[in-house]
Structure 1
Amino acid sequence: MTPEQITLVQDSFAKVEPIADTAAELFYNRLFELDPSVRPMFKGDITEQGAKLMTMIGVAVHSLNNLEAILPAVQNLGVRHLEYGVTDTHYDTVAAALLWTLEQGLGPDFTPATKDAWTATYVTLATVMKDAAHAAEA
């Protein structure tokens, strides 16, 4: 990720944070629309799960200038996702739901450069999670 991409992600997330509850609701509705089979993976209160999701995204976004600091937590998250039955294909669905949610929340501020920056961020973090999960399975 380039410094410009990090700035785009951080600046755009600052615009999403005030509508975090709505963004989380949009995200999960879209995720379940794209792949209804993932719904049973979410056993608890989806509103609470949404708050956790937005907090986690916030921590990641604010740590983009120092990814090494959060890598162990990201790796642990990837390993924990194994317990829920998450597979590599689920990461693609999550990416689609996330980008769609950002587009809805940011409107015209979701420029092609912003989309590319978010895609780079997601791919970076998802790759760390998947690699940790694969290592744990081996």
Structure 2
Amino acid sequence: MTPEQVNLVQQSFVKVAPISEQAAVMFYDRLFEVAPQVKAMFPSDLTEQRKKLMATLALVVNGLSNLAAVLPAASALAKRHVNYGAKPEHYPVVGGALLLTLEKGLGAAWTPEVAAAWTAAYGTLSGYMISEAYDKSQAAE
């Protein structure tokens, strides 16, 4: 990611923070719409899960300028997700739900540059998380 992309992600996330609860609802609604099979990995009451999602996003977004500081937490999170049943093929689905949520939440502020920055950020983190959580044979499946 370029410094400009990091800046775009961080600036745009500031605009999402005030609607974090609605954004989290949109995210999970979209995720379960496109991948209903993953719903079983989550509690029936998503209140705490939505808070965790937004807190984790805030941590990652704020840490993008010092990615090395975020990577240990991302690695631990990825490994926990394996225990919940997450597979490498779930990451692009989650990314799509996240990007759509951001697009809806940001409205006119969702520019091609912001979209590219978020795509780069998610690609960087999800690629790292997949490599940390799965051995090479699983990641290639």
**TM-score normalised over the length of structure 1:** 0.95
Output one character per residue of 1:22-43: Cα deviation in whole Å (capped at 9) or x when no partner. 0000000000001100000002
CA RMSD in angstroms comes to 1.5
Q: Is 1:80 matched with 2:80?
A: yes
- Tell me: CA distance 1:136–1:69, structure 2 relative to 1, closer, same or farther (3 Å): farther
Deviation at residue 45 of structure 1 after TM alignment: 2.6
User: Is residue 79–residue 136 contact of structure 1 (8 Å, CA) maintained in 2?
Assistant: no
User: Is residue 25–residue 47 contact of structure 1 (8 Å, CA) maintained in 2?
Assistant: no
Output one character per residue of 1:11-65: Cα deviation in whole Å (capped at 9) or x when no partner. 0000000000000000000000011000000025312101100000000000011
Deviation at residue 137 of structure 1 after TM alignment: 8.6
- Secondary structure of 1:87 counterpart: coil
- Structure 2: segments with no counterpart, 5+ residues: none
State the distance in 2 between where 1:112 and 1:118 align.
10
Q: How does 1:1-138 map to 2 (within 5 A)?
A: 1-43=1-43, 45-135=45-135
State the distance in 1 between where 2:20 and 2:98 align.
13
Q: Which runs of 4+ in 1 moved over 3 A?
A: 135-138
State the distance in 2 between where 1:125 and 1:7 align.
16
- Tell me: CA distance 1:50–1:137, structure 2 relative to 1, closer, same or farther (3 Å): farther
- Secondary structure of 2:86 counterpart: coil
Deviation at residue 98 of structure 1 after TM alignment: 0.3
Deviation at residue 85 of structure 1 after TM alignment: 1.1
Between 44-53 and 61-70, report the one with greater CA deviation. 44-53
